[in-house]
Every structure is written in C-alpha cells, then in structure tokens.
Amino acid sequence: MYRRSRWYPLLGFEQMIFKGDMPSADTDCYSFPGYCDKNIFPVVSDQLKQGKVFVYWLTLNSHIPYDRRDIVNYRKGLCGEFSAANEGELLCNYQNLHTQFFEGFAKLIEDEALRGVKVVVVGDHPPIFYDDEARGRFEAEQVPMLHFTVK
C-alpha cells in the first residue's frame, strides 16, 4: 500500500510489520483484505514494550466502506441521530468502528508496562463518505487528534 516498502525505510523505520509478519488471525476484515484493528492490539502492545520505540499504526477497517461485519459489539444506541437509511447505516457503522477501536486502545494502555509512553492518535484525513449529506456532518478541513502520556 502506497509503496511503503520503498519509502518507509527512507523515513527511518527499521522494522515494518504487516499482515504476513503477524500471528494468524481468525479472519480477514470484510472492509479490506487484511486483519481488523482489533487483531493488531497485541502486536502493538508487544512493540511498545520493547523500550524506546516509535510505532506508527495505520488503522484500516475504520475506513470506508465501514463494514458492519467488522463490528464485534454493534451498538444501535450509537445510531440514534442518523435518519436517512443509507447515510444512517454508514454513519452508524463509522461510530461503532471508532468506538470499538478506542475501547481496545483504552484496554491496551491499561497495561502498567506502558506507563510513560507518549501517545499521539491523529486522523490522516477528514471522515470519508460517499455522499455530501454524510460528509457535511464533519468539518471538511479538520482531522481529530489526541495527545497524552500513559499514566
């Protein structure tokens, strides 16, 4: 993806871990041909415990097409404000996938071995949707960002 094997080393990445380098997961995601974010947490945790290290993790199943089958604990309650059928489904799946990611991430940083780790979570683009109405629910030129130190 994005000729990563050529330019990641130019950025200083000494190790790259992709699907073929990871322990086998039960299934691939439905939204793309790889492992879902939920399967990557143990790999990220292992990397973060190896001392001073920079880990870049590109999440993928929380990107469009926001496939409902990738959601382990679907919560209809996250969907209440969305009305139009197609828009509602995409936005609801989007909210569920992000909730799933951040719940897994919260569990990951509960590990006492990760105390002191500096974390930056940043979107690589504004949320993507196929239609203008769904896109209009988000700021077009803004991406979310979190920065904190694990306590």
- As a whole number of angstroms, the distance between CA 68 and CA 31 comes to 9
- As a whole number of angstroms, the distance between CA 82 and CA 89 comes to 8
pLDDT score, position 81: 66
Per-residue pLDDT reduced to its tens digit, 44-71: 999 999 888 899 888 878 778 889 999 9
pLDDT score, position 34: 84
Q: Enumerate the domain spans of the chain.
A: 4-149
If one looks up domain 4-149 in CATH, what number appears? 3.40.720.10
Question: Tokens 């039960």, residue?
Answer: 26
Q: Residue 1 pLDDT > 60, yes or no?
A: no
Per-residue pLDDT reduced to its tens digit, 98-130: 999 999 999 999 999 999 999 999 887 777 777
Question: Tokens 């930056």, residue?
Answer: 120
- Positive/negative CA dihedral, 75, 101, 117, 124: negative
Which pTM value belongs to this model?
Answer: 0.85
- As a whole number of angstroms, the distance between CA 114 and CA 120 comes to 14
Task: Judge contact between 2 and 58, C-beta under 8 A.
Answer: no
